[in-house]
Every structure is written in C-alpha cells, then in structure tokens.
C-alpha cells in the first residue's frame, strides 16, 4: 500500500508547479489551467488522507472540490470570453486597469 507521505510529496510538487504557472504565464487560459493543477493537487491530498485515516470523508471533500472547480471553470471561461469580446486579448498584462 502507498504511504501517505509519498502522496503528500507528489501533490506538493504538483501544487508548486501550478503556482509557478499562475505567477509566470500571461495567457488567461493557461493561468486557469494552472489553477486546475493546484486544485487537483489539493484534491489528491484529500483522497490520500481519506485512505490513510480509513474514513471516506476526505473523498466527499474531493467530490465537493470537483463541484467547485466545475463552477469556477464555467464562470471563469465565460469571463475570459466576455473579456476577449471587449478587448480582443486574453493577455493578462493588457488587463491591468485594477492593478495599482
């Protein structure tokens, strides 16, 4: 059986990679994909903890994380489409009006 610590290591690596993606990429779509990476890393920890503790609550949490991710993807992509319609770009560096 798989030790919980290896699950934690893998998901920590995936989370860190997603973080790098969010902070360095400029395309809004790829930033969204990197957020999905981070969400999945978190989900993996929930499932791993669920396995380690022998209760299914972690899996339920993972299920709800997926629900939220689906909602986030739908709304986020709609925002990207609305943005593209108005500005003809998905480059986040060109959409910095609210940034100080």
Residue 1 is a binding residue for another protein (CB under 8 A): yes
Please report, as residue ranges, which positions from 53 to 92 form the binding site for another protein (by CB under 8 A). Answer: 53-54, 56-57, 59-60, 62-64, 66-75, 77-82, 84-85, 90-91
Q: Which residues contact 26 (CB under 8 A, 6 or more apart)?
A: 91, 92, 93
Query: Is residue 50 a contact residue for another protein (CB under 8 A)?
Result: yes
Q: How many residues bind another protein (CB under 8 A)?
A: 71
* Least spacing, CB of residue 89 vs another protein, in Å: 9
17 binds another protein (CB under 8 A): yes
């Amino acid at each position: 059986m798989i030790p919980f610590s290896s699950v934690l290591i893998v998901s920590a690596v995936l989370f860190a990679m997603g973080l790098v993606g969010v902070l360095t990429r400029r395309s809004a779509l790829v930033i969204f994909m990197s957020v999905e990476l981070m969400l999945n890393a978190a989900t993996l920890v929930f499932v791993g903890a669920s396995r380690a503790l022998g209760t299914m609550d972690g899996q339920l949490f993972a299920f709800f994380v997926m629900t939220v991710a689906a909602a986030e993807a739908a709304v986020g992509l709609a925002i990207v489409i609305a943005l593209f319609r108005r500005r003809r770009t998905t480059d986040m560096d060109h959409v910095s009006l609210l940034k100080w």
